[in-house]
Structure 1
Amino acid sequence: MNSHLIAVAEVAQQFGARIGIGRAARLAGLLHDLGKYTPQFQARLSGAQERVDHSTAGAAIVVQLARAVKADDRIVAELIAYCIAGHHAGLPDKQGETFSTLSERLNGFSAAGLDPIWKSEIAPEVADLLPSFPNWEKTDRTRAAFQLGFLGRMIFSCLVDADFKDTEQFYACTEGRQIGRTWPELQSVLPSLIKAFDTHMGQKRKSDTPVNVLRANILDHVRSRASEKPGLFTLTVPTGGGKTLASLGFALEHARAHGLGRLIYAIPFTSIIDQTAAIFREILGNDVVLEHHSAIEDEERRPREPRDADSTKADRDKLKLAMEDWAAPIVVTTNVQLFESLFAARTSRCRKLHNIANSVIILDEAQTLPRPLLIPAVWALRELAENYNCSIVLCTATQPALDQRKFPARHPAGLPLEGRELAPDPDDMAKRLERVRLEHGGVMDDMALLAEFSKTDQGLVIVNSRKHALALYRQAKEAGLDGLVHLTTRQYAAHRREILAAVRQRLMNGEPCRVIATSLVEAGVDLDFPKVLRAEAGLDQIAQAAGRCNREGRRPVEDSIVIVFEAPENPPPPEIAGLSGDMARMMARHEKLLSPAAIEDFFGEVYWRIGPEGLDRGRNDRLPIVDKFRIGSGGVTNFSYRSVAENFRMIESGMVPVIVARDEQAKAAIAKLRIETIPSGAIARDLQTYVVQVPPKARARLIACGHVKFADERLRADQFAVLMTLGLYDPEVGLVWEDAEYLSQEAIVI
């Protein structure tokens, strides 16, 4: 028994030592399965059917052991208690009405059944547990509690990842299981990565167009700042200015200068993550880049584990259901995956957190951080930068006004960003990269839109919903417009990649190309149209849409038109409608609406209109998320980990995944699901570009009609929902789930 505890403790200590929490992580590892020192659990291993709670014991004992130590260590011991109690079912709330609170479990615990031999076999030390972080908050109790809650998640991460790895090693030896992929350390491959990057950029410098020359100058300037002290940075580069490669160049050099262990590139939309990952692989190679979507990892809908399952079944399930630990040198992921993990309670989401520390984190399109969660998101970023040795780059063409100098004193959303801009003179760059002319089209119904669209052989229309985009595409097709292309999240990523490649080829060849799309085309999609029509939205989205017009600067500005229109028959959702009003006010204040000054003013207007209370508003609970971490008299914590995880949802629509297996690679990955020894994470990695996100009710209807089925449910639970009726996937428009009830069962082809 003690061999597993000691092994987990040693690995957890190794993980924790990198971020100054080695002693706390080791203590959590030593005590996490203390409840197995009971006759009931030993009987369970011999075949008894009674379920045994084996995690509450360690949580209760660590609190008891801490009663005789100093106050700081008592607080950390409480954090460890949350971690031990939740190492199977997830971090609990201390109090409240949620499933199995920590207080309820501690109050109901009795040590009478524990074999006292544990004291000599594992000999835990409860001392010097509080890390000597450089930026502990001393005056603001709310922020101090948030910091401690964050520390608790980091300890939890070290514990559950160490527990997983020791379990994986055991079963790999006894059952021939595959061990998750091993990755090289970033510092060991960094010289070759920088050399590969330099070679790639050297090839690009052979193109001497004005835009490419400016991109090269931006890159050189950004890389020259790489030796600066780690922390928070901004990188403000107009759309088309090469900020993706500039940020990558900075990250590589900065990691080399400061010995950082990982590059994490977070992107707002799953629709472009595969494109960015493909660029990085092309430059740096296939063996260092992990592409991790949030598409298949859907913990809330898996059957909840009991408080403790028996060791054998729980550990085997842990191996099958485990997802990524982010041990790769370079991780390309989504904002949803990054931020929801930082506020998660479940083990599979949290196991990666200790690997986020000591990293360079690039937040691409930083303006897309959801405003209702802005304050907790900003606090998490600040905590990573100030106490976990991360450098964070807010990278965008439309920089959100997060500099604390732009807010009233001590506003909770402000960040210390003075002097931390990496780009050379953003105002001058905006002028030099001015490539479009904005026009206001007023009210335009679909007929007027199509009439305007027909005036150009190559154009892009962007609307605010998948429903409107599909209806407009079908009308355009009936009208006989040439070169029509539909681009939507109804299509899975690998298919969109094929569509985008064809669009680029048409544009290059001068062929008719009329694209009707949702906002997925606005961020990071490298397209260059002479004309763009954009449904009314916030100024940040209008600027992103403008970045798809005359992107390479090859056309005169006066011939490169972006028309902003109102669509009364398809009004924007309330959030976008409010932002449209903010933009309207900018029109009266700024002649150049795409200038950095106008963008900053726009975000200032948005944040002022919403107010601090609107910048921290969870999904189901109006109590601010940062207020769910409290410290009472005597240093007693009252943290609501589970409630926070349920309320910190960046995508409120709660979409769920459906896998579309139209090609051989996807079918081969699905076939692997029946092989028990292959971890789910490895298979999910292969399938993530074949996922379409659909409304939960729509997927339930698809399942009820037999059009979707969970693949190998006995082994994988409800992780992998596969489309069985491929007739529902239209090659032109993607998955049309609305037709599910009317499609014959004879169309089932898988």
Structure 2
Amino acid sequence: MTFYAHSGTPGDKSDWQPLPEHLKGVAELAAANARPFGMEKAVRVLGLFHDLGKYDPQFQRRLEGADIRVDHSTAGAAKLLELAKGQDRGTAELLAYAVLGHHAGLPDKHNEFGHCFKRRVREYRDRLDPAWKTQLGFGLSGLMPAFVSARVAKATAAFDLSVLTRFLFSCLVDADFKDTEKFYAERENRQVDRDWPALDRSLPDFIARFDAHMAAMPADGTVNRLRRDILAHVRGRARMAPGLFTLTVPTGGGKTLASLGFALDHAGAHGHRRIIYAIPFTSIVDQTADIFRKVLGGEHILEHHSAIDDEEDRPRRKGERPPTSRDRLKLAMQDWAAPVVVTTNVQLFESLFAARTSRARKLHNIAGSIIILDEAQTMPRHLLKPCMRMLDTMARLFGCTIVLCTATQPALGRERPDGRPGFPDGLDLAGRELAPDPEELSRKLRRTRIERVGDMDNMALVEALRSQDQALVIVNSRKHALELYQEAKQAGLDGLVHLTTRQCAAHRRQILADVRTRLDPKAKHPCRVIATSLIEAGVDVDFPRVWRAQAGWDQVMQAAGRCNREGRRERDESVVSVFAPVGYDPPPEIKALVKDTVRALDRHSGDAQSLEAIRSFFEEVYWRLGDMGLDSKYIFDDFILSLDGSSFAFRAAAEKFRMIESKMEPVIVAIDDTSRDAVKKLAIEKISSGNLARELQSYIVQTPPRAREMLIRNGHVLFEQPGLREMQFAVLKKDSLYRKEVGLLWDTPDYLAAEDMII
């Protein structure tokens, strides 16, 4: 009997894929994926065993059209556990998690549901044809190389091995996807996702472009000279051994380009495979990606931020069949194979803790990368310890270099600069600072005066804006920003600009370009910007005056970075006024930080912008939260090793590890020819969803789930081409609900239209 992995023409098996061909093809692709971290042999076995259940004659009947459900994912796991002996038994158990999860996602070892590891293996009944034993050549000894085992830290072994399991899983699911994609692409003229060049091939051109770009930058003035000195010093440390680094440079000191220059030189010195630049806010990923495209050329930069869900977690209707391998080719998944990836912290960390196949697929491409965490102080405090441990594991087990890049360096090292104990279970950062004398840089690049001004309502803020032709007001919520903008508009202020995540990235780019034109010293046009915190991190604008609603001290410092950024004005004239907004409570996540800020300010009233004041603020925050508060979801408790083996709860941990607690859902606003053309392409089956997702991500607005549900219920948003794309591409159909000035107004979508907007 001939066994098949995937079907082709019904009734004619001449174009069906033989099962041994698929298993061996996946095994070789997966082994190549694992080469950067030394687990090729184990992952080759993983590829051979992942679809072993297709040797069940019942599965072959299903391929022929029988309406039956067959679990083909348990057999390989059960056989691995049955056949592996001695020390290899533990590694086989890690592989078994991956086999069990290669369609539905990594399972928990134990839970109350039927899909857990323990129950599935216990209830497995062997119905495999014995042909598999002769058709597949494999060995189950020496699965864990000694050098990999030596990198696993005894104190954190359970966590380390859980991360290793995810990387093994990633190697498998990516290889499975690509082999299946290749099979169907050849038969159906289906477009596969693009191939990216390796970083080492692109690196000489990247460095030449970078050097030419920096040589063309302005060299006059104190700030520009400091930026050049910082860059030279940072690049001079690129030959240091890979691992963990900090880069502490005040806002306006050129951190983005300095960190990129370091990454290029460091990759050249040590052979890193790609550069991953992770940014805290979706709102500025596009700006950083634009900078990188300008410097390095756009054809090798992958910008990945606004995720279009793959629908893996969508509840299936009663009687609905599970998706086939061919169905999964419709999903919009990114594999991060580009030489340079610009993404968000959410994408990075939630992928590293993921159980789902689509999120985990990219992990093996992170091994051997340089990861730059821009604005590292923004990592959520309730998940800070799991994040720190993940970074440590990435450096030890997977050869990553990680740069914590920030103007306000959080106290994350095991030791403080003065040698006292630092962050509990912190990172080994001693001697790993890339910047020249951060304390001195903090003094030299201080260009503003920060003052606390007490309560201010919207009327007072409007009058403050009226007194300045060019000014920035930053508030803590989209609601406050919109209402303040509406009141300022009614008051007749000129040059008003509203900047919010209600607007899609494509529009924000246009708005910020207009703001920079208005702020040009030669133009001197009125420019009064009302924004949420999205403008604070990494947005290159220079205002003479800034008002900032009370928030964490690091946010206040980031706001100060938008004031007198180029040092053209006197420090005492460049004022950042911190106010308490009347009528708008701070969001729950920053309410306690406001109090921490006040305490830190009181303690350092003489020099509130010093690095010591910043460290004091973070220590205050960490001290208040304590160990439990820094892992408030008890992520570590989900990964346990005992004499009985592993007890890993991958699904439970992934569900708890949410960097943004309030999940948002994407709505595509097709508001120009580029986006409308991309939406039309959704009807073309041969174009991959991944390509189209990349084209459309700049036209996404993230909305609260209930808001999107109401928009869909009222017919204002529809899923485009659900037969081809599943429920992935939710497109706004009522154009009047979106305006460039204010973005998407979802608050009352059952009746809201253009004529209802009071602007």
Whether contact under 8 Å (2:369, 2:399) holds in the other structure is: yes
2:69 corresponds to which of 25, 44, 51: 51
**Aligned match for 2:95, one of 52, 58, 80:** 80
The yes-or-no answer on 1:350 pairing with 2:357 is: no
Q: How many residues align?
A: 732
Give 2:215's aligned residue.
202
State which of 86, 101, 104 in structure 2 corresponds to 1:70.
Answer: 86
Give the Cα separation in 2 of the matches to 1:496 and 1:189: 30
Q: How does 1:88-127 map to 2 (within 5 A)?
A: 88-98=103-113, 100-111=115-126, 113-127=127-141
- 2:409 aligned to 399, 420, 423, which one? 399
2:690 paired with 1:681? yes
Distance 1:501 1:98, change over 3 A: farther
Q: In structure 1, what residue type is equivalent to 2:25? A: A
> 8 Å contact 1:464–1:518 — kept in the other structure?
yes
Question: What secondary structure is seen at the aligned counterpart in 1 of 2:275?
Answer: strand
Q: How does 1:30-49 map to 2 (within 5 A)?
A: 30-49=48-67
Q: Which amino acid aligns with 1:377?
A: C
Letter in 1 for 2:652: S
Query: Among residues 155, 160, 167, which one is paired with 2:180 in the alignment?
Result: 167
- Deviation, 1:741, is 1.2
Amino acid aligned to 1:502:
D
**In structure 1, distance between residues paired with 2:107 and 2:334:** 22
Within the alignment, does 1:609 sit opposite 2:609 as a pair?
Answer: no
Name the structure 1 match of 2:44.
26
- CA–CA distance in structure 2, aligned partners of residues 531 and 746 of structure 1: 35
Contact 1:89-1:307 within 8 A present in 2 as well? no
Q: Distance in 2 between matches of 1:469 and 1:495?
A: 17
User: Could you tell me which residue of structure 2 aligns to residue 581 of structure 1?
Assistant: 595
C-alpha distance in structure 1 between counterparts of 2:344 and 2:318, whole Å? 30
Is 1:260 matched with 2:269? no
Cα distance, 1:317 vs structure 2: 1.6
State which drifts further: 736-745 or 425-434: 736-745
RMSD: 1.9
Cα distance between partner residues in 1 of 2:144 and 2:517: 58
User: Does 1:738 pair with 2:753?
Assistant: no
SS at match of 2:215: helix
Could you tell me how far 1:124 is from its partner in structure 2? 2.4
The 3 A distance-change label for structure 1 pair 281 and 410 is: closer
Cα separation, 1, equivalents of 2:306 and 2:288:
15
Q: Is the Cα–Cα contact under 8 Å of residues 413 and 422 in structure 2 kept in the other structure?
A: no
Map 1:399-438 → 2, pairs under 5 A = 399-406=409-416, 412-438=424-450
After superposition, give the CA deviation of every residue in 1:199-224 in whole Å (9 maximum; x if it has no partner).
000000x4312111100100000000
Instruction: Report if aligned partners of 1:149, 1:629 keep a CA contact under 8 Å in 2.
Output: yes
CA distance in 1, matches of 2:583, 2:631: 32
Check whether the contact 1:185–1:261 (CA below 8 A) recurs between aligned residues.
yes
Give the stretch that moved more between structures: 431-440 or 131-140.
Answer: 131-140
Residue aligning to 2:384: 374
Q: CA deviation at 1:303?
A: 4.4
C-alpha separation in 1, matches of 2:627 and 2:658: 18
The answer as to whether partners of 1:169 and 1:179 remain within 8 angstroms in 2 is yes
AA partner of residue 375 (structure 2)? E
Residues 95 and 640 of structure 1 are in contact (CA less than 8 Å); yes or no, is this contact kept in structure 2? Answer: yes
For residue 359 of structure 1, report the CA deviation from its aligned partner: 0.5
Alignment partner of 1:18: what SS? helix
Match of 1:490 among 502, 505, 529: 502
Does the alignment pair 1:567 with 2:588? no
How many percent of aligned residue pairs carry the same amino acid? 58
SS in 2 for 1:689: helix
Match of 1:463 in 2: 475
Cα pair 1:135 1:387 within 8 Å, conserved: no
- Shift of residue 37, structure 1, vs aligned partner: 0.5
Q: Secondary structure at the match of 2:220?
A: coil
C-alpha spacing 1:138/1:657, structure 2 compared with 1 (3 Å)? closer
User: Taking structure 1 as the reference length, what is the TM-score of the superposition?
Assistant: 0.95
Show CA shifts across 1:600-648 (max 9, x none): 1111110000011011123xxxxx10110011224x1110001111111
Deviations 1:178-235 (A, max 9, x none): 111111110011011100000000000x431211110010000000000000000000
Distance in structure 2 (CA, Å) of the matches to 1:414 and 1:228: 21
- When structure 1 is superposed on structure 2, of 370-379 and 410-419 the one drifting more is 410-419
> What is the deviation of 1:411?
6.0
Counterpart position of 1:145: 158
Displacement of 1:299 after TM fit? 4.4
Say which of 630, 650, 654 aligns to 1:645: 654
AA at the equivalent of 1:712:
Q
1:586-610 Cα distance to aligned partner (Å, 9 max, x none): 1122122221111111111100000
> AA paired with 1:416?
D
Q: Distance in 1 between matches of 2:357 and 2:282?
A: 23
Q: Distance in 1 between matches of 2:639 and 2:686?
A: 40
Structure 2 letter corresponding to 1:585: R
Which amino acid in structure 1 is aligned with residue 733 of structure 2?
M
Structure 1 residue matching 2:293: 3-state secondary structure: helix
Return the alpha-carbon distance in structure 2 between the equivalents of residues 176 and 708 of structure 1.
31
Q: Is the 8 A contact 2:332 2:693 kept in 1?
A: no
Structure 1 residue 173: deviation in Å? 0.8
Task: Decide whether the 8 Å contact of 1:534 with 1:562 is kept in 2.
Answer: yes
Partner Cα separation in structure 2 for residue 686 and residue 136 of structure 1: 40
Contact kept in structure 2, 1:236 and 1:397, CA below 8 Å: yes
Distance, in Å, in 1 between the alignment partners of 2:420 and 2:657 is 26
Structure 1 pair 742/138, CA: closer, same or farther in 2 (3 Å)? closer
Aligned equivalents of 2:476, 2:63: Cα separation in 1: 57
Amino acid at match of 1:532: V
Quote the Cα distance in structure 1 between the aligned partners of 2:257 and 2:640: 42
Which consecutive unaligned segments of at least 5 residues does structure 1 have?
A: 619-623
Which of 259, 265, 288 pairs up with 1:247? 259
Partner of 2:13: none
- Which residue of the other structure, out of 563, 577, 599, is the alignment partner of 1:549? 563
CA distance in 2, matches of 1:746, 1:397: 44
The 8 Å contact of residues 134 and 387 in structure 1, kept in 2 or not, is answered as: no
- The CA deviation at 1:125 is 1.3
Paired with 1:135 and 1:454, the residues of 2 have a C-alpha distance of: 65
> Match for 2:303: what amino acid?
E
Q: Cα–Cα, structure 1 residues 347 and 301, in superposed 2: closer, same or farther, change >3 Å?
A: closer
Does residue 293 in structure 1 map to residue 281 in structure 2?
no
Residue 558 of structure 1 is matched in structure 2 by 572
Change (3 A) 1:718 1:165: same
Cα pair 1:134 1:386 within 8 Å, conserved: no
Q: Determine helix, strand or coil for the equivalent of 2:393.
A: helix
Say whether the 8 Å CA contact 2:376–2:410 is kept in structure 1. Answer: yes
Correspondence for 2:723 = 714
User: For residues 178-257 of structure 1, what are the structure 2 equivalents within 5 Å?
Assistant: 178-204=191-217, 206-257=218-269
- TM-fit CA distance, 1:137: 4.5
**1:677 Cα offset (Å):** 1.6
Equivalent-residue separation in structure 2 for 1:529 and 1:745 (angstroms): 32
Task: Measure, in 2, the Cα distance between the counterparts of 1:463 and 1:746.
Answer: 27
Aligned pair 1:692/2:701, yes or no? Answer: yes
Q: Quote the Cα distance in structure 1 between the aligned partners of 2:67 and 2:755.
A: 45
Q: Distance in 1 between matches of 2:313 and 2:41?
A: 35
Contact 2:550 2:578 in 1 (8 A): yes
Q: Structure 1, residues 690-720: CA drift from partner, whole Å, max 9, x if none? A: 0001110010000000000011111111111
- Aligned counterparts of 1:594 and 1:298: Cα–Cα separation in 2: 44
CA shift digits 1:289-322 (9 cap, x unpaired): 1001143235465346999978xx6121221104
